[in-house]
Structure 1
Amino acid sequence: MSSDQRNHAVPQLTPLQQELLLELRQNSARAVMLHQLISEKLGLNATDHKCLDFLNSAGPVTAGRLAKLTGLTTGAVTNVIDRLEQAGYVTRDKDPNDRRRVVVKPTGRESETIPPLFDSVFRATHNILMGYSEQELRVILDFFKRCNAMTLEEMDKLKQD
């Protein structure tokens, strides 16, 4: 797509907005690459690794709930769960509230293998955060919450097309 076509797709941006969008794109791409490298060290693909991260945050969930959390289709999530189960990262159990449904839960293996891979990243991020006031952090937090919600909305649009 030419720059002329892109300019018609979005409103005119200020130089600061353009710079911020460029940095967001770079951050997104680098995050994908970082998680790909970490995933390879774990013997997983990046999607499986990030789904495992969602499972660790959410706790035991159904495949449908994991699909909603990740924005993936239920078919894609079923394949992810199959691979994570085969790798020993999750188990499937009957839902105690509805025996027809299955709940997916982490086995705990990830708590041994994943945190050491992120120690340096967490320390570096902490150092960056320390450079901002509480008010600035609230603005940054609001921005990321809104970006995360927008991303899920855009994923839903793409799935419907």
Structure 2
Amino acid sequence: MSSESDVPPHEPKENELRQQLGAEVRALQGATDAVDAAAADRLGVNRTDLHCLDVLTQRDSATPSQLGTALGLTTGSVTAMLDRLARLGYLTREPDPHDRRKSVVRATPRTRRGAADLYGPLAHEGAALLERYSLPELELLLDFARRSRELQERHLRRLRDEAG
């Protein structure tokens, strides 16, 4: 078991940079949240619906239970969400060809076009931004992003476990 006293002291400049990095990550999370809120508003959906559409645009298809797991939703909530998004023309539901008791959910071409329209400029500028980094720097950035995501996922599990 380690404690704060086990952590070696850092130089003042290093401490300042760690604090600045923490503040920038927090600001990035806020900016990302604001972009997603604006995108959801443009599409006429809520944030959970937007997250569902994001999951679907990353995959060819998903079952409702897979979506429920990915989004942390109950079966009833998934059904209501899929009904709403199907009515808006953002997804289709078809019987699973391997098990007709199940359904397969897919994003529509309209959804994929909307995602490209809303997030394409961001992806383009982000790709251009990454061009300024060397291979070792990209490896470092990838490591930081991956470890940060894993940290968030661990904390999410803790929060959900504490909630019961």
TM-score, length basis structure 2: 0.79
Shift of 1:119: 3.0
- Indicate conservation of the 8 Å contact 2:60/2:106, yes or no: yes
Name 1:35's counterpart in structure 2: 36
Name 2:144's counterpart in structure 1: 143
Q: Deviations over 1:59-102 (max 9, x none)?
A: 211122123334x2234433332221121111222222222222
Aligned residue runs from structure 1 range 56-67, under 5 A? 56-67=57-68
Give the aligned residue type for 1:139.
L
Name 1:5's counterpart in structure 2: none
Q: Is there any run of 5+ residues in structure 2 with no aligned partner, and where? A: none
SS in 2 for 1:114: helix
Aligned length: 151
Aligned residue runs from structure 1 range 48-59, under 5 A? 48-59=49-60
Q: Distance in 2 between matches of 1:101 and 1:33?
A: 35
Name 1:99's counterpart in structure 2: 100
SS in 1 for 2:132: coil
Q: Distance in 2 between matches of 1:158 and 1:85?
A: 31
- Indicate conservation of the 8 Å contact 2:57/2:112, yes or no: no
Name 1:73's counterpart in structure 2: 73
- Indicate conservation of the 8 Å contact 1:92/1:105, yes or no: yes
Name 1:3's counterpart in structure 2: none
Change in CA separation of 1:154 and 1:96 when aligned onto 2, cut-off 3 Å: farther
Name 1:128's counterpart in structure 2: 129
Shift of 1:141: 1.3
Percent of pairs identical after alignment? 30
Q: Distance in 1 between matches of 2:95 and 2:73?
A: 21
SS in 1 for 2:102: strand
Q: Deviations over 1:34-69 (max 9, x none)?
A: 111111111112221122011111221112212333
**CA RMSD, 1 decimal:** 2.3
Q: Distance in 1 between matches of 2:68 and 2:19?
A: 33
